[in-house]
Amino acid sequence: MTESTSLLIRGAAIEGGETADILVEDGRIAEVGTGLSRAGARIIDAAGLIALPGLVDLHTHLREPGYEASETILTGTRAAAAGGFTAVFAMPNTSPVADVAGVVEQELALGEAAGYATVQPIGAVTVGQKGERLAELGAMADSRARVRVFSDDGFCVWDPLIMRRALEYVKAFDGVVAQHAQDPRLTEGAQMNEGVVSAELGLAGWPAVAEESIIARDVLLAEHVGSRLHVCHLSTAGSVDIIRWAKKRGIDVTAEVTPHHLLLTDELVRGYDARFKVNPPLRREEDVLAVREGLADGTIDIVATDHAPHPAESKSCEWAAAANGMVGLESALRVVHEAMVVTGLIGWQDVARVLSKAPARIGRLAGHGTPIAAGEPAEIALYDPRPSAPFGAADLRGRSANSPYLGRELPGRVMWTIHRGSLTLADGELVEREGA
């Protein structure tokens, strides 16, 4: 990776609007205007490209420490850079679990050493993600990692008393509890969305109410204690209705939707291709349309990838034995383009909001999600909306290949990614860092 130097981006459409030149120096945006010049600067011809604030993913599984066969912090952040991301929040379901200060500080240091994106650790809510007693939330918050988001993702904090205590505890440092909304009793043995397709296939169904009942409980708990709640990977029409009601009531709740829940439906399960097995499961077309509407009207705050890499053997097996999860960092912006922009539901300023500004705000991550303006940190993605091509294995830059989009036509391409003033992706190719 090249050291930070002067970059002159010429003729980019800032958040899809007016075109301008952007001068980057010493890790910051020095100037935005027309006809800019700087002796010795590297010139980037951005004619036809959209300049977005560097994307921020509030929900990434980097697998390190413990599951490096699936992903590492280095390979995961390379995938992030290829997708236009300059910051990712690392989920705690590692081994050991990120439930103490030492583990989150290790993740932070590994992210700094990799250099492709800011890695902000998420701390577990409970010890070992077992749901029995609170983890060291205060110690993680006070650590060098300054953890502000806590989640047992992969596991629901099912005990209402523990959830209440967590919501109360994080108020002390303006933290947020990010809940994996899944009632464990209602989803025992479930393999896909409960509905017509599951009935026809004879697969145990995963009812929408298993998600919706937890969200309903938790927004009321958040209101009761006056704390911040974030709902992970919301996937049903009923969940959108509950979040909409809670926001109208003034409850401090935010929610995310994944790219795959914006585009894919449970009809894809008919082929028993385990690339389409995910938690929460792919839902009905009606749910897809409802979450799109919820994202467009602001009920759902952000798009988060839930990037979940797995080795080939965890997906190349029978459906029942396959692991849940999909990789998504490299494809996220293209899928949002397809599902939300091509359909006319949102514009590029909204894309900047849901994929950069709002996730940075929810996660209290300084230096990201900022406007493309003079004096701001140089965290920028340049996206070409014009091409359309099948998403292929060559588009994947991480360690795992469990993408649901392989062979699917998607619009656009991320061309350049700038992190802390340095190029991590240049003309569609990763910039190699010494030792990487």
Q: Which residues are marked as active site?
A: 306
- Do 70 and 76 touch, CB atoms closer than 8 A? no
Q: From the centroid of its chain, how far is CA 351?
A: 13
Task: Decide: helix, strand or coil at residue 415.
Answer: strand
- Do 210 and 234 touch, CB atoms closer than 8 A? no
Pairing of strands 409-419, 422-426: antiparallel
Cα gap 265→286, rounded to integer Å: 9
Rg (CA), the chain: 21
Q: Between the CA of residue 66 and those of 96, 162, 422, what are the distances in Å?
A: 7, 27, 30
The DSSP annotation for 285-317 comes to HHHHHHHHHHHHTTSS-EE---B----GGGTSS
Q: At residue 35, what is the residue type?
A: G
How many C-beta atoms surround the C-beta of residue 318 within 10 A?
8
- The number of helix segments (H) and strand segments (E) in the chain equals 12, 19
Q: Count of alpha carbons within 13 Å of 110, Cβ hemisphere only?
A: 22
**CB within 8 Å of 303: residues ≥ 6 apart:** 256, 257, 258, 259, 262, 295, 332, 336, 354, 355
Specify which residues 149 forms β-bridges with. 176
State the DSSP H helix or E strand holding residue 157, giving kind and residue range, or none if neither: none
Cα gap 190→182, rounded to integer Å: 11
